[in-house]
């Protein structure tokens, strides 16, 4: 794809909210057929800039020029008419309507004053075919589609109104690895058709795979725009945080630091897992790798009693116990930081304090709630940045929300700490803080298990790595294993049924 | 970061809990001032205490209803529990005229608790939405009362039993006011306890609470039990105060919900304070009294109530969305 002529230019865009300046004269341009990535930590201003472009915010200063015409959008509909489409992180689809009805929502083709369903469905089928999408029919109900396919419908919906510029705000965040691969293919096809794509992402690897240029924002300011071919991950991360990449992962455990066995599973299984043998030791971080659907999340939830083992034996702290409920697991000193922080990790409308104390209040066996001073020390320890302990957790950034979840478990003094995607949706700065904290906790003698779909994180953090495939543990790798080794194990079917494998080449 | 908030925490916490329901406290003050302006004698101790006494059953019901609403449920059966309680008391006195009143009172409270227990178990174990469970419970109790009394209960409540509703302790302080104070204090302490905090968390996010080890079913059942007990206590007060009728508790369930909503407590759970809910009950009673003094027909009470409940939720929602928009603006750069 050649970035030849500028199609869209944003010049000197500034925006303040209630006197707080969140964008300082940011400029950005985009060529037809280009994928232009926008990266930066949470709070850098990426989303605000894109909302200005989409007419959702009116800028205080600056201009937007599209195809040589200057625009001043005061409403999203104007931006849409001008050819700007935006795919938000939260989809705006009606679950109980069909794909075609969603694609043409509010602009249904009519015939004699009535909705022309046939034309609508035919046109939707054309759009789906144009985009090279298979497996979705115009008459499918959106509620029956996976998250990935719903996202595709969102994109097709934008295409239906002849967009020139498509903004995608962290499109792969809710997707599994192989789904992300399919999305990348779709993005490339759209760019090849001459659309300009502004692509926001935290995942630098996909940014480098997809984009022609990368723009880094920090604290509402433009830091740099570089051709992807002329830069590398180190440079981009440095621009984002002003920190070296090597500071990313804390040093691993010495063999002397690893102590007694805290948890064992022998022959554990349920409808998603088979023949799980596992031992977690004090002071050690055990990583669980695997493709989406390989059973890595199921394993964490089984250990925690949320989706319990139905067979096999398990010991915790030397005592036989196979938890049937989370409460039993918690009483035995097991904690789980779940993958879905907003739905499962926090009561979002409650304060930082109430969330941090929730486990100790609910399960007196873990020693009761800590005193106010201890709680404050605990929140400082997880390096929480909040306005105060009374702040409702829904107003915190993803990273700080995650720190509250961790504090909630630490208050109950766990002996086994399970993390499912410890840094999903967390910005780079908070990521490093969480990594450091997790290693500290291991060093203090907690047995830690990390499930992560981000291989660099998993390899960087783990003292040993168990690779899962089809509900089994396919193999074990020592610290610092290469990504290729992990992938090789993850894509090898232990049961000798290669036809069950569909996502072999799509591990992103 | 948050260390400086610790020392000021008690004051802040009070301010915050008042802040959440600030409009209802302002409304209550306005209504009380208006009452004084309309009727200069309103604040004479006896008359004011009589007002509080009349408000007591609703305040107690509002406290019970709050517990159920804050964990994400409804209790529509409380009015029918009040009626059934009064009628049951009079029927028992019909058969055993010399029954000791503490025994009857304790029996009613227990029966109220059991009714709540049934509603709670049906809601949590059989997964029937509480709106339906308690609507059914209301109809069952109303029908039972009608069947039992043929529509017009006969008989007398003993003087001892009626003391709690209309008598006074230590000269002038009505027992009803004391009962109301005690119930209020219990509710406040309960909501500050570990159980109360886990109850709110359950209403906010059931999944998150369950994964943090909260026994969410048990918490909800306890809320229903307490709501049923509060309703039975209200029945004792209502029976003492206004005597026997097959309509003794009619409409109380909606008055209690109106009061809670007026207190800024969000339907669906997870938000709002019990003090504000009780202030909502006082405001409602003050408004009814004011309308009465102004010569507005008592028949319009339910109309007024309907307007209030819609207005309270409507204004609450409007306020909230404006607040939310401001928050997203001020942190506009953060979500990305």
Tell me which H or E stretch contains A7: strand A6-17
Contact criterion met (CB < 8 Å) for A358 and B200 = no
With beta carbons less than 8 A apart as the criterion, state whether A201 and A207 touch. yes
B69/B261 Cα distance (integer angstroms): 9
- Cα B249 to chain centroid distance, Å, stands at 13
Residues in chain A within 8 Å Cβ distance of B271: 349
Mean pLDDT of A421-438: 87
- Cα A303 to chain centroid distance, Å, stands at 23
Percentage, residues of chain B above pLDDT 70: 88
Q: Are strands A20-31 and A6-17 parallel, antiparallel or unpaired?
A: antiparallel
| pLDDT band, residue B284 (cuts 50/70/90) | very high
With beta carbons less than 8 A apart as the criterion, state whether A101 and A116 touch. no
Contact criterion met (CB < 8 Å) for A376 and B271 = no
A269/B236 Cα distance (integer angstroms): 56
With beta carbons less than 8 A apart as the criterion, state whether B60 and B180 touch. yes
Residue of A nearest to B204 (CA): A347
B54/B74 Cα distance (integer angstroms): 24
Give tens-digit pLDDT for B288-312. 999 888 888 777 888 888 888 888 8
What phi-psi label fits residue B128: left (phi over 0), alpha (psi between -120 and 50 degrees) or beta? beta
Contact criterion met (CB < 8 Å) for B1 and A384 = yes
Domain ranges of chain A: 258-495
Distance from CA of A409 to the nearest CA of B (A): 8
Number of continuous H segments (helices) and E segments (strands) in chain A: 16, 22
Instruction: Report DSSP state, residue A121.
Output: H
Residues in chain B within 8 Å Cβ distance of A364: 194
Mean pLDDT of A61-78: 89
Distance from CA of A364 to the nearest CA of B (A): 9
Residues in chain A within 8 Å Cβ distance of B327: 395
Give tens-digit pLDDT for A370-399. 999 999 999 999 999 888 899 999 988 888
Residues in chain B within 8 Å Cβ distance of A346: 205, 208
Residues 205-234 of A with CB under 8 A from B: 220
Indicate the average pLDDT of chain A.
Answer: 87
The encoded tokens of residue A435 equal 């990594």
Q: Which residues contact A452 (CB under 8 A, 6 or more apart)?
A: A287, A288, A289, A419, A421, A422, A423, A458, A461
Mean pLDDT of B209-213: 96
In this prediction, residue B15 carries a pLDDT of 57
Give tens-digit pLDDT for A134-150. 888 899 999 888 888 88
Give tens-digit pLDDT for A459-481. 999 999 999 988 999 999 998 88
In this prediction, residue B276 carries a pLDDT of 94
Contact criterion met (CB < 8 Å) for A349 and B210 = no
CA nearest neighbour of B250 among B68, B114, B81: B81
The encoded tokens of residue A453 equal 């779909």
Whether residue B9 is predicted with pLDDT greater than 70 in this model: the reply is: no
Whether residue B330 is predicted with pLDDT greater than 80 in this model: the reply is: no
Mean pLDDT of B158-177: 84
Contact criterion met (CB < 8 Å) for A352 and B207 = no
Indicate the average pLDDT of chain B.
Answer: 86
In this prediction, residue B144 carries a pLDDT of 93
Interface residue A416 vs chain B (CB under 8 A): no
Q: Which residues contact B87 (CB under 8 A, 6 or more apart)?
A: B145, B148, B149, B153, B244, B246, B248
| pLDDT band, residue A47 (cuts 50/70/90) | confident
Interface residue B17 vs chain A (CB under 8 A): no
With beta carbons less than 8 A apart as the criterion, state whether A338 and B211 touch. yes
Pick B198's closest partner by Cβ from A362, A372, A376: A362
B146/A144 Cα distance (integer angstroms): 49
Q: Which residues of A140-161 are buried (b: 16+ CB within 10 A; e: fewer)?
A: eebeebeebbbbbbbbbbbbbe
Interface residue A413 vs chain B (CB under 8 A): no
Mean pLDDT of A48-71: 90
Torsion on CA atoms B256, B258, B263, B267, rounded to nearest 10: 100
Mean pLDDT of A211-225: 90
A169/A90 Cα distance (integer angstroms): 9
Give tens-digit pLDDT for B102-157. 999 999 999 999 999 999 999 999 999 999 999 999 999 999 998 888 878 878 88
Distance from CA of B267 to the nearest CA of A (A): 14
Whether residue A95 is predicted with pLDDT greater than 90 in this model: the reply is: no
Instruction: Specify whether domain B47-293+300-318 bears CATH 2.40.128.
Output: no
Q: How many CB pairs under 8 A join A and B?
A: 142
Percentage, residues of chain A above pLDDT 90: 49
Mean pLDDT of B239-265: 89
Interface residue B326 vs chain A (CB under 8 A): yes
CA nearest neighbour of A283 among A422, A444, A438, A419: A444
Distance from CA of A42 to the nearest CA of B (A): 5
Interface residue A37 vs chain B (CB under 8 A): no
Interface residue A173 vs chain B (CB under 8 A): no
Domain A258-495 class in CATH: alpha beta
In this prediction, residue B105 carries a pLDDT of 94
Please tell me the number of Cα atoms within 13 Å of A352 on its side-chain side.
31
Give tens-digit pLDDT for B73-87. 999 999 999 999 999
A365/A78 Cα distance (integer angstroms): 59
CA nearest neighbour of A278 among A241, A245, A317, A315: A315
With beta carbons less than 8 A apart as the criterion, state whether A26 and A71 touch. no
Distance from CA of B330 to the nearest CA of A (A): 5
Of A53-67, B10-24, B105-119, B243-257, highest mean pLDDT: B105-119
Cα-based distances in Å from A353 to A95, A452, B273, B327: 36, 28, 16, 20
Judged by average pLDDT, the poorest of A2-6, A493-497, B238-242 is A493-497
Distance from CA of B201 to the nearest CA of A (A): 6
The length of chain B is: 336
DSSP B60-129: HHHHHHHHHHHTT---TTHHHHHHHHHHHHHHHHHH-TT--HHHHHHHHHHHHHHHHHHHHHHHHHS---
Placement of tokens 């596992």 in the chain: A278
* DSSP three-state, residue A451: strand
Interface residue B210 vs chain A (CB under 8 A): yes
Mean pLDDT of A238-244: 67
DSSP B148-217: HHTTS------HHHHHHHH-EETTTEEHHHHHHHHHHHHHHHHHHSHHHHHHHHHHH-HHHHHHTT--HH
In this prediction, residue A161 carries a pLDDT of 81
Interface residue A367 vs chain B (CB under 8 A): no
| Residues A211, A212, A216, A217, CA torsion sign | negative
ipTM for this model? 0.85
With beta carbons less than 8 A apart as the criterion, state whether A48 and A213 touch. no
| pLDDT band, residue A422 (cuts 50/70/90) | very high
């Amino acid at each position: 794809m050649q970035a030849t002529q500028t199609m869209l230019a944003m010049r000197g865009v500034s925006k303040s909210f209630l006197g707080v300046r969140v964008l300082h004269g940011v400029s950005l341009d985009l060529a037809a057929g280009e994928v232009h990535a926008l990266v930066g930590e949470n709070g850098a201003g990426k989303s605000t800039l894109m909302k200005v472009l989409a007419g959702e915010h009116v800028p205080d200063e600056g201009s937007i020029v599209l195809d040589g015409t200057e625009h001043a959008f005061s409403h999203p509909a104007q931006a849409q008419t001008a050819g700007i489409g935006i795919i938000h992180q939260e989809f705006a689809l009606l679950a109980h309507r069909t794909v075609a009805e969603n694609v043409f929502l509010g602009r249904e083709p009519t015939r004699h004053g009535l909705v022309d369903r046939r034309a609508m469905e035919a046109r939707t089928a054309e759009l789906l075919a144009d985009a090279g999408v298979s497996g979705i029919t115009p008459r499918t109900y959106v509620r029956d589609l996976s998250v990935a396919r719903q996202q595709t419908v969102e994109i097709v919906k934008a295409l239906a109104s002849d967009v020139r510029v498509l903004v995608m705000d962290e499109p792969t965040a809710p997707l599994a690895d192989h789904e992300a691969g399919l999305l990348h293919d779709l993005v490339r096809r759209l760019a090849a058709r001459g659309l300009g794509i502004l692509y926001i992402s935290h995942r630098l690897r996909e940014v480098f795979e997809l984009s022609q240029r990368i723009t880094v924002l920090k604290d509402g300011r433009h830091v740099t725009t570089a051709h992807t071919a002329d830069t590398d991950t180190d440079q981009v991360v440095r621009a984002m945080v002003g920190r070296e990449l090597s500071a990313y992962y804390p040093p691993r455990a010495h063999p002397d630091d690893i102590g007694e066995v805290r948890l064992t599973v022998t022959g554990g299984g349920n409808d998603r897992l088979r023949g799980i043998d596992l031992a977690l030791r004090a002071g050690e971080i055990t990583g669980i790798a695997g493709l989406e659907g390989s059973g890595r999340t199921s394993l964490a939830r089984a250990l925690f009693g949320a989706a319990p083992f139905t067979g096999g034996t398990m010991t915790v702290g030397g005592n036989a116990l196979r938890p049937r409920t989370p409460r039993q697991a918690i009483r035995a000193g097991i904690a789980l930081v779940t993958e879905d922080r907003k739905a499962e990790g926090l009561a979002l409308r409650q304060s930082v304090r109430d969330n941090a104390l929730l486990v100790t209040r609910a399960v007196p066996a873990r020693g009761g709630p800590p005193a106010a001073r201890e709680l404050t020390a605990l929140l400082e320890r997880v390096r929480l940045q909040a306005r105060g302990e009374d702040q409702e957790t829904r107003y915190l950034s993803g990273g700080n929300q995650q720190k509250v979840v961790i504090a909630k478990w630490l208050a109950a003094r766990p002996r086994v700490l399970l993390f499912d995607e410890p840094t999903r949706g967390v910005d780079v700065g908070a990521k490093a803080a969480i990594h450091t904290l997790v290693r500290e906790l291991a060093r203090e003698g907690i047995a830690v298990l990390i499930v992560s779909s981000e291989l660099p994180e998993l390899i960087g953090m783990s003292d040993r790595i168990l690779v899962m495939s089809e509900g089994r543990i396919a193999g074990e790798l020592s610290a610092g294993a290469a990504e290729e080794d992990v992938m090789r194990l993850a894509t090898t079917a232990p049961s000798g049924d290669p036809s069950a494998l569909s996502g072999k080449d799509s591990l992103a | 970061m948050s260390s400086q908030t610790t020392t000021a925490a008690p004051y802040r916490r009070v301010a915050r809990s008042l802040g959440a329901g600030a409009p209802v406290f302002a409304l209550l003050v306005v209504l009380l001032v208006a009452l004084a302006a309309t009727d200069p004698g309103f604040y004479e101790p006896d008359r004011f205490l009589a007002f509080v006494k009349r408000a007591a059953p609703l305040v107690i019901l509002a406290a019970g209803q709050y517990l159920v609403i804050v964990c994400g449920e409804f209790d529509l059966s409380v009015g029918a529990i009040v009626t059934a309680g009064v009628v049951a008391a009079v029927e028992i006195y019909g058969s055993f005229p010399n029954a000791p009143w503490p025994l009857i009172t304790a029996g009613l409270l227990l029966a109220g608790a059991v009714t709540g227990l049934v509603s709670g178990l049906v809601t949590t174990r059989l997964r029937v939405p509480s709106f339906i469970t308690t609507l059914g419970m209301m109809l069952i109790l109303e029908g039972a009362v009608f069947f039992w009394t043929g529509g017009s209960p006969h008989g007398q409540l003993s003087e001892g039993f009626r003391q709690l509703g209309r008598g006074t302790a230590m000269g002038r302080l009505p027992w009803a006011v004391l009962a109301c104070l005690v119930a209020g204090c219990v509710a406040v302490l309960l909501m500050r306890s570990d159980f109360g905090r886990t109850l709110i968390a359950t209403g906010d996010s059931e999944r998150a609470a369950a994964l943090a080890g909260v026994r969410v079913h048990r918490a909800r059942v306890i809320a229903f039990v307490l709501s049923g007990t509060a309703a039975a206590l209200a029945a004792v007060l209502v029976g003492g105060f206004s005597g026997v009728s097959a309509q003794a508790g009619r409409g109380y369930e909606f008055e209690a919900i109106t009061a809670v909503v007026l207190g800024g407590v969000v339907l669906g759970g997870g938000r709002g304070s019990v003090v504000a809910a009780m202030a909502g009950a006082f405001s409602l009673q003050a408004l009814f009294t004011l309308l009465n003094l102004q010569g507005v027909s008592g028949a319009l009470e339910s109309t007024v109530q309907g307007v209030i409940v819609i207005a309270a939720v409507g204004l609450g929602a409007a306020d909230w969305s404006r607040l939310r928009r401001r928050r997203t603006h001020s942190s506009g750069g953060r979500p990305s």
